[in-house]
Amino acid sequence: MTNKIRDIICSVIMLAFGTMMIVVAKDIPNKLGDKDVGSGYVPTFIGICILIVAVSKLVLAITNKKPSANQKIKWTSDSLGGFGTIALMAVYMLTFEKVGFIIASVVYLFVQMMILSDKTNRKPVLFAIIAVALPVAVEALFVYAIKMPLPVGYLGFGG
Amino acid sequence: MVLEAFANVLNPVCLGLIWFGTMLGIIFGSVPGLSATMAVVLFLPMTFKMDPTRGIALLVGLYMGGISGGLISAILLKIPGTPSSISTVFDGGPMAEKGEAGKALGVGILYSFIGSVIGIIALAFISPLLAKVCLLFSAADYFGVAVFSLTIIAALSGKDMLNGLIAGLIGLALSMVGMAPIDAQIRYTFGNYQLLNGFEITVLLIGVFAVTDIILAGFGRKTLSASFQKKKWHLKGYGITMKEFVQQIPNVIISSIIGIGIGILPGIGGSTAGLIAYTTEKSRSKYPEKFGTGIIDGVIASESANNAVIGGSLVPLLCMGIPGNTVAAVFLGGLLVHGISPGPLIFDKNGAVVYGIYIALLVSSIFMLIFERLGLPIFAKLLDIPKHILLPIIMVMCCVGAFSSNSRVFDVKCVLFFALLGLFFKAFKIPSTPLIIGFILGSMFEENLRQALQASHGSWAVFVQRPICLCFLIAAVVFCTLTVRKNLKEKKAAEAAGEQFDTSEEEG
C-alpha cells in the first residue's frame, strides 16, 4: 500500500462516517420546537464538517503527484504477536464478567507475557507467579480496602 | 478566625490526615485509570464522622495528591495517570526515553508545587474579584471559550492539519453519544442502554493512550526486548539548575495564570488547562520545534497549569457554590455533607473552615513536594521492569480502572473499542491528542451553543454582541490563522530546502 492509497482509504472511511452522522441526526426529533435548534443540530454540523474535511483530503490525495505519495509502506510488524494480542485482549474483556476478574486476569497475564517474551527472556515459572499474585493482590485491595468488589463470575471465584 | 483555622489544621491528627490523603492521592493519581475524583469519592464516606475541618483536610490531601500523582505515570510510562497530565506526556515521555526520567519527575514535582501554591494564593487573595468577573459569563461566552479551546487542535495537529481535524471531529462526534444536553434526547446509542450516559473520558484515555501501545508492543514484540534498556537516571535536588529556574519564571507564571483562569471557568478542568498552557508556551517559545522531543519547558507548563487549577476551581466553588470540574463537584458534596454551604456568605458563616481549607491546601502541597521527591527512587524503578512483564500488568490495571469508573463491565469492553480506534489512528497517521480535546469540549460546545441560541430566540448575533464571547472568537480566528500560516511557512521552507515533507506525519 502506498501513502496515496492510505490517504484515499482514510478519506472514504471518513466520508462514510460523516454520512452516517448526518443520516442518524436527521431522525433525532426536536422536542422543544422553535425554542431550540434541537439535539440533531450539532451532530449534523459535525457530520458536515467531517464530509468537508474528508472530501478535501480525498482531493489532495488524488491530485498529489509528489514522489512520497507513491512510496510503498513497508509492513515489518509481527502480525502474529499483534493480532494475537488483540484476540487475547478481546477474550479477556469478554470473559471478565463471566469467569470473574481473578481467573480471567491470571490466564490473560500468563498468556500475554508468553506472547510478548522471546526465547531468551521467557520464564514461565516467574510469569505464573506474577499472573497469580497480581490479580489476587488487586482483588484484595479493591474488596477489602476500597470496598469495591470486582466481577466474581459464574464460578463465584474471588470477592 | 484565621488563628482558629491554624489551630484546627496544625495539630498532629489533622496533619496526619492531610499526609495520608496526599499519599493516597498520589497513588490514585499515578495509577492509570484511577483518578483524583475516584480518590475523593471513595474516601468521602470516611469523613462523615469526622470534625468538618479534619474531614475536609483529608479530602484536600486526596485532591492535591490525585492531581499531582498523574505526572508519575505520564513520565515513566507515557500514560497519563489522570486526564490532567495528558500534556505532561508530550515532553515528559520523551525525556524519560532520553534517560532523563529523574529530571522530568523532579521538575514535574517542583512545578506542581509551585503551580499549586500560586493557585492557592490566587484562591486566598483574588477569589472575590475573579468570582465577580466569572458571574458576568453567559452561555454565549462559554461557547466562545469552547470554540477558542477547540482551536488548540490546529496547533496540536502536527504537519497535517486535515488529519488533526479528522481526529478532533471524531472526538466531538464521540461526545455526542448518549443523552443530549438540554432535552435529554437519546442519540447514537443504537439501542444500547449502556450508552445512555455516553462514553467515559477515563475509558477513552485508557483505550487510546495505554492499550493501543500494548497492542503495538505485540506487533513489535521481536524488537521489544532489544529496544528495552534500563533507564539510568541521576537526580540532584529537583533536577533543575538555578539558571533554568530563572529562565522558566515567565513560563510558570503564565501557565499558572492559565490554570487559575481555566479552574475558575466551570466545566473545563485540568486537562484543558495543561493543553492550553503547553500550546501557549510552545507558541511563545524561541524553540517551538523542540517541544515534544523532551524538554523541561513542556513539563513545567503542563504541571504548573494543572495544579494551579486546584486553587482556581475552588474560587467559584467557595464563593458561588459552582464546581469548576468533576473533582471539585465531589468536593462540593463533601462540604455540604459537613454542613458547609458555599456561597457569598461562606466567609461569615464558616470562615474558620474556609481558612482551614487554604491552610490544608498549602500543607498538602508541601507534603506532596516532599513525599513525591522522596519516593522518586521507587517510582523510577517502574522503568526497570521488563516490558513483556510490565505491559500485561498495566493492561490488567487499565481494565480494573475502566471497570471501577462506573462498576460495569461495559466500560472494559469500550477500552478495547478505543484501543482499536487508536490503532486505526496510528495506521493512518492521525494524531490522537485532538481526539481527546474534541471529546472533552464537545458537550460544553453544544450545551452553551444551544443555551445561548435559546436565550437569544435563535439569533446568531448573540455571539458577536457579547464582548467576552467576541473576544474569544476573535482570539480563536487569530490563533488558528497564525498556526496555519506557520505550518505553511514550515512546509515551504522544507520544500525549498529539498527535504521531503510528509503531510501524513504525526505530531511529535
pLDDT band (50, 70, 90) for residue B96: confident
Enclosing domain of residue A33? 3-70
Give the percent of chain B with pLDDT over 90: 21
Backbone φ and ψ of A72, nearest 5°: -80, 140
pLDDT band (50, 70, 90) for residue B234: low
Are A62 and A100 part of one and the same domain? no
Are A49 and A103 part of one and the same domain? no
pLDDT at A47: 95
| ipTM for this prediction | 0.92
Looking at per-residue pLDDT, the higher value among B166 and B152 belongs to B166
pLDDT band (50, 70, 90) for residue A75: low
Taking Cα atoms as reference points, which of B146, B158, B118, B133 lies closest to residue B365? B118
Ordered DSSP codes for B403-444: HHHHT-HHHHHHHHHHHHHHHHHHHTT--SHHHHHHHHHHHH
Which of B400, B417, B447, B500 should we substitute to test contact with A (largest number of A Cβ atoms within 10 Å)?
Answer: B400
Taking an 8 Å cut-off on Cβ atoms, the answer to whether A94 and B413 are in contact is yes
pLDDT at B65: 87
Residue A151 lies in a domain: no
Per mean pLDDT, which range of B126-135, B281-290, B366-375, B383-392 is the poorest?
B126-135
Taking Cα atoms as reference points, which of B156, B125, B180 lies closest to residue B358? B125
Taking an 8 Å cut-off on Cβ atoms, the answer to whether A116 and B188 are in contact is no
Domain closes at, from A70, A97, A125 = A70
Are A65 and A86 part of one and the same domain? no
C-alpha cell belonging to residue B284: 511563545
Residue A37 lies in a domain: yes
Are A107 and A52 part of one and the same domain? no
Looking at per-residue pLDDT, the higher value among A1 and B269 belongs to A1
Contacts of B7 by beta carbon, 8 Å cutoff, 6+ apart: none
Chain B nearest C-alpha distance from A64 (Å): 11
The stretch B341-350 carries a mean pLDDT of: 73
What sign for the dihedral angle of Cα A45, B201, B281, B116? Answer: positive
Which of A8, A20, A42 should we substitute to test contact with B (largest number of B Cβ atoms within 10 Å)?
Answer: A42
Distance CA B218, CA A37 (A): 47
pLDDT per residue over A83-116, tens digit each?
Answer: 999 999 999 998 988 899 999 999 999 999 999 9
Predicted TM-score (pTM) above 0.95: no
Are A63 and A8 part of one and the same domain? yes
Domain closes at, from A37, A70, A103 = A70
pLDDT band (50, 70, 90) for residue B249: very high
pLDDT per residue over B185-230, tens digit each?
Answer: 899 999 899 999 899 877 887 788 778 888 988 888 887 765 444 4
C-alpha cell belonging to residue B77: 510510562
Taking contacts as CB-CB distances below 8 angstroms, the residues of chain B near A38 are 183, 185
Ordered DSSP codes for B166-224: HHHHHHHHHHTSEEPTTT--EES-TT-GGGTT---HHHHHIIIIIIHHHHHHHHTGGGH
Contact residues, A window 113-142, toward B, CB-based 8 Å cutoff: 113, 115-118, 120-121, 126-127, 130, 134-135, 138, 142
pLDDT at B444: 81
Average per-residue pLDDT in chain B?
Answer: 82
Taking contacts as CB-CB distances below 8 angstroms, the residues of chain B near A40 are 187
Q: Report the residue from A40, A41, A117 with minimal CB separation from B388.
A: A117
Are A60 and A115 part of one and the same domain? no
Backbone φ and ψ of B178, nearest 5°: 105, -160
Taking an 8 Å cut-off on Cβ atoms, the answer to whether B216 and A101 are in contact is no
Distance CA B433, CA B208 (A): 9
pLDDT band (50, 70, 90) for residue B508: very low
pLDDT at B321: 67
Taking an 8 Å cut-off on Cβ atoms, the answer to whether A39 and B173 are in contact is no
Taking an 8 Å cut-off on Cβ atoms, the answer to whether A121 and B454 are in contact is no
pLDDT at A158: 58
pLDDT at B83: 75
C-alpha cell belonging to residue A80: 502474529
pLDDT at B17: 93
Inter-residue long-range contacts of B191-197, CB under 8 Å, 24+ positions, other chains counted: B194/B408, B194/B410, B197/B406
Chain B nearest C-alpha distance from A155 (Å): 17
Strand partners, A2: A72
Inter-residue long-range contacts of B2-8, CB under 8 Å, 24+ positions, other chains counted: B2/B355, B4/B352, B4/B355, B5/B53, B5/B351, B5/B352, B5/B353, B5/B354, B5/B355, B5/B356, B5/B358, B5/B359, B6/B355, B6/B359, B8/B51, B8/B53, B8/B54, B8/B352, B8/B356
